[in-house]
Amino acid sequence: MKTLPIYGTMAEFASAHDLVAAARRTYEAGYRKIDAYSPFPVEELAEAIGFHKNYVPLVTLIGAITGGTLGYLMQYWIAVIDYPINVGGRPYHSWPSFIIVTFEMTILFGAISAVLGMLALNGLPMPYHPVFHVPRFALATKDRFFLIIFATDPKYDAQATRQFLESLEPRSISEVPS
Amino acid sequence: MADQQEKSTVAKSGAPVIGPGHTFGTITDKISSIVLTRPVTNGWVVGFAACFMATMMLLYALAYLFVKGVGVWGINIPIGWGFAIVNFVWWIGIGHAGTLISAILLLLRQSWRNSINRFAEAMTLFAVACAGVFPAVHTGRPWLDYWMFPYPNTMKYWPQFRSPLIWDVFAVSTYFTVSLLFWFIGLIPDLATLRDRATNKYAQMIYGLLAMGWRGSARHWARYEKAYLLLAGLATPLVLSVHTVVSFDFAVGIVPGWHTTIFPPYFVAGAIYSGFAMVLMLAIPIRKIYNLEDFITDRHLQNSAKVMLATGWIVAYGYAVEAFMGWYGGNRYDQTLLWNRLHGPYAFWYYMLILCNIAIPQLLWIRKMRTSPVWLFFISFVILTGMWLERFVIVVISLARDFLPSSWGMYYPTRWDWMTYFGTIGMFLMAMFLFVRILPMISIFEMRTLLPEAEVKAE
């Protein structure tokens, strides 16, 4: 990616409703490299900016299956192969008593995968990000809603994009330096 | 993910879960100001100091234990479990309400949970930490506790996976880890709020580091919500399994009064029962001191009281079935155990248990009791005492009278037992004191979603 002096153009809205409407119109206008910021989850928003592929469930499923499989195989290997102990003549492969640890390992690996997967897919931790340059953006974690069109968008043109955002009637517009 | 919207509609149609006149801004200001701008009061300092002293007492008692060995406690043969296991089960049980509130009520779309889930989860973490102390030091050689985990070692030894005690190691450590993840994930957006609102440079840096650069992007929120929901789905069977596994510690053994199939469900119900009592004992003073009646409303107190009433009856059913099976089963040892509970040397404590866990909580049928913070506080205290007595009755009465009269004995806790027990209560409260001043005790972003403005109207 070539270095761009401008990271994007950002518009500020007063409500979740306005932001979703603006995001939809932006997407319809052909902009694809866009993002929206809200102080709480707004489920329509992801769809409005064209985000559909959520891999978190898949990552979690793979983690959970891995954990369960490893948990069971570990117990099997320990109790049957490496360290067999005869307890009252009971079979070494006493699978009912292995259920609990298998279950706990499934949950443990699933939960860790969900958390780490979510963070990794989101690219977090990322303490620095160009949007933090905009002073008003501090309100994105309080009560304001923001829409950004990135400069990398093929349709992006500093002048035209700004005019387009103005047509959405935002509360303010700012350029985000990169 | 249509639940978010449905959650807010449910919230609006019912009785208020949030006081009138709030906006996104006022919610944010009110909760974050407790952490960021509220001065440290004398009351907080005195309370924290008292709890700190109690924690020091715990460390003293533990240090003495390490020097002298578990003989300083009242445990002996036949009663080898004593306070350590009683307190372990009691604390673990208390933790369960936090996960119930944060995970199960999320899946059930009970949006009233949004204002109490954060500190209930903190309560879970601290309670599980207190619980973990007891089995760890009860082993007698706590410096070798890592032997319980399967790791390759030069002794060519592995844990015994057919033992409920090893199941417990896995269940409790998984529970603590998942609770910690769930709590931390829930905190990330609020930490970002604190980062953006803090004026102190160090506060900005610390909250900024912990928030990991959260900026509320729609893509991030979508993955976040999915991960949160999945964690709730994973934590739900987990929390039910933890106390089930704890009950296996008893039920898999052959001791009369332990070897029953009713134990898992009745342990889980008892856990939630005591956990909600602890939630109320914390919520009632906290909402008063920090003026949070707008967020933790009477509806929250009422709902918690109703949960206690319901789980209390499951527990009562458990006692009834235990007694009935003792009589009907025809096993002479079980019959002796039942007789021993009702007439033996510990009978007084059994009747106290019935009084605390079954009789007094029936006051909750009265609406006035459910809405009176003072009465709820009192009833919660009684329930917590009762649930402690329940574990005492289970552990001590069964062990005191086993199969051979020649091996009968009595259990007398020593001052070291009491110091360790009260010390963990001090440690738990000390952690709560720190928590309410360092982190937002109510989930700010989830409270925002309760407002009607959070809804996106259909085009």
ipTM confidence score: 0.90
* Helices B117-138 and B263-289, packing angle to 10 deg: 130
- Residues on chain B touching A60 (C-beta within 8 angstroms): 227, 230, 234
Helices (H) and strands (E) in chain A, counts: 5, 4
Q: Measure in Å the smallest separation between the Cα of A2 and chain B Cα atoms.
A: 24
The alpha carbon of residue B369 is apart from the nearest alpha carbon of chain A, in Å, by: 36
More confidently predicted of B99 and B424: B424
Distance from C-alpha of B20 to C-alpha of A80, rounded to nearest angstrom: 64
> For tokens 């445990």, what's the residue?
B75
Structure tokens given for A31: 């902009």
Which of A171, A141, A165 shows the shortest CA–CA distance to A8? A165
pLDDT for the residue B18: 80
- Residue recorded with tokens 């929250």: B300
Residue B202, CA atoms < 13 Å, CB-side half-sphere: 1
CB < 8 Å to B157, chain A: 83
Taking a C-beta distance cutoff of 8 angstroms, is the pair B311, B272 a contact? yes
A37 with B218: Cβ contact below 8 A: yes
**B184-217 pLDDT per residue, tens:** 999 999 999 998 888 888 988 999 899 998 988 8
Residues in B touching A87 (Cβ below 8 Å): 162
Q: What is the mean pLDDT of chain B?
A: 89
The DSSP code sequence of A131-174 is: GGGSGGGGGGGTT-EEEEEETTSTT--HHHHHHHHHHT--SEEE
DSSP B217: B
Determine which of A60, A139, A141, A145 to mutate to test the interface with B (most B C-beta atoms within 10 Å): A141
Confidence check: pLDDT of B9 > 80: no
Q: What is the pLDDT of residue B448?
A: 85
Give B2's contacts in chain A (Cβ within 8 Å): 43
Regarding predicted confidence, which is higher, A29 or B361? B361
Residue B27 has pLDDT above 90, yes or no: no
User: For residue B429, which of B163, B34, B8, B58 has the smallest C-alpha distance?
Assistant: B58
User: How high is the pLDDT of residue A15?
Assistant: 85
Residue of B4, B18, B24 to mutate when probing chain A, most A C-beta within 10 A: B24
Query: Which pLDDT tens digit goes with each residue over B109-149?
Result: 888 888 888 889 999 999 999 999 999 999 888 999 999 99
* Whether A115 and B192 lie within 8 Å, measured CB to CB: no
Asked whether the predicted pLDDT for residue B8 surpasses 60, the reply is: no
Asked if A122 and B220 come within 8 Å (Cβ–Cβ), the reply is yes
Residue B85's contacts (CB-CB under 8 Å, 6 or more residues apart) are B134, B135, B138, B249, B391, B395
The domain over range B3-454 is classified in CATH as 1.20.1630.10: yes
The C-alpha angle with vertex B325 and arms to B322 and B327, in degrees rounded to 5, equals: 110
Gap between the Cα atoms of A68 and A166, Å rounded = 54
Establish how many alpha carbons lie within 13 A of residue B288's alpha carbon, considering only the half-sphere containing its beta carbon.
Answer: 11
Across the interface, whether the CB atoms of B456 and A20 are under 8 A apart is answered yes
* pLDDT at res. A1: 45
Beta-carbon separation of B226 and A107 below 8 A: no
Summary mean pLDDT of chain A: 87
Both structure tokens of B441? 């005790």
pLDDT of residue B6: 43
**Chain B interface disruption, residue of A74, A106, A122, most B CBs within 10 A:** A122
Helix (H, G, I), strand (E, B) or coil at B70: helix
Total Cβ atoms within 10 A of residue A155: 13
Q: What angle, 0 to 180 degrees and rounded to 10, lies between the N-to-C axes of helices B263-289 and B218-251?
A: 130
From the list B73, B21, B163, B111, the residue with the least C-alpha distance to B299 is B111
What stretches of B263-395 show up as alpha helix (H) in DSSP? Answer: 263-289, 298-328, 332-343, 347-354, 367-371, 373-392
Distance CA B347, CA B441 (A): 42
Buried b (16+ CB within 10 A) or exposed e, B295-333: bbbebbbbbbbebbbebbeebbebbebbeebbeeeeeeb
pTM for this prediction: 0.90
Distance (Å) from the alpha carbon of A152 to chain B's nearest alpha carbon:
17
**Number of A–B residue contacts, CB under 8 Å:** 213
Which helix (H) or strand (E) segment is A7 a member of? strand A6-13
- Residue B349 burial (C-beta neighbours within 10 Å; 0-12, 13-18, 19+): middle
Contact A35 B218 (CB under 8 A): yes
Question: Is there a contact between A111 and B150 if contact means CB atoms under 8 Å apart?
Answer: no
Nearest to B234 among A56, A94, A111 (CB): A111
The 3-state DSSP class for residue A94 equals coil
CB contact under 8 A, A111 and B185: no
pLDDT over 70 (residue B7): no
Give the pair of three-digit tokens for residue B72: 């300083």
Chain B residues lying within 8 Å of A131, measured CB to CB? 215
Q: Other CB atoms closer than 10 Å to residue B64's CB: what's the count?
A: 14
- Choosing among B106, B147, B206, B230, which should be mutated to test the A contact, i.e. which has the most A CBs within 10 A? B230
Chain B hits for A126, Cβ within 8 Å: 212-213
Residue from B450, B447, B435, B441 nearest B32 by CA = B441
Average pLDDT over residues B158-183: 92
Residue-wise pLDDT for B246-292, tens only, equals 999 999 988 888 888 899 999 999 999 999 999 999 999 998 998 88
Q: CB–CB of B279/B117 below 8 Å?
A: no
Instruction: Give residue limits of the domains in chain B.
Output: 3-454
Inter-chain contact A108–B178, Cβ cutoff 8 Å? Answer: yes
Q: How many angstroms separate the CA atoms of B383 and B355, rounded?
A: 9
Phi, psi of A9 (to 5 degrees): -120, 135
B226 closest CB neighbour out of A23, A56, A137: A56
Select the residue from B170, B228, B442 to test the A interface by mutation, using most A Cβ atoms within 10 A: B170
Nearest to B221 among A38, A55, A87 (CB): A38
Picking from B190-194, B278-282, B342-346, B452-456, which range would have the lowest pLDDT averaged per residue?
B452-456
Q: Please check the confidence at residue B4 and state whether its pLDDT lies above 80.
A: no
Domain extents for chain A?
6-53+130-177, 56-121
Looking at the complex, report in whole angstroms how far the Cα of residue B106 sits from the nearest Cα belonging to chain A. Answer: 15
C-alpha A150/C-alpha A144 separation (Å) is: 19
Q: How far is B218 from chain A (nearest CA, A)?
A: 5
Q: Is the pLDDT of residue B46 over 50?
A: yes
Beta-ladder partners of A149? A9, A34
Q: Say which residues have a Cβ less than 8 Å from residue B379's Cβ, sequence separation at least 6.
A: B277, B305, B308, B360, B361, B363, B364, B369
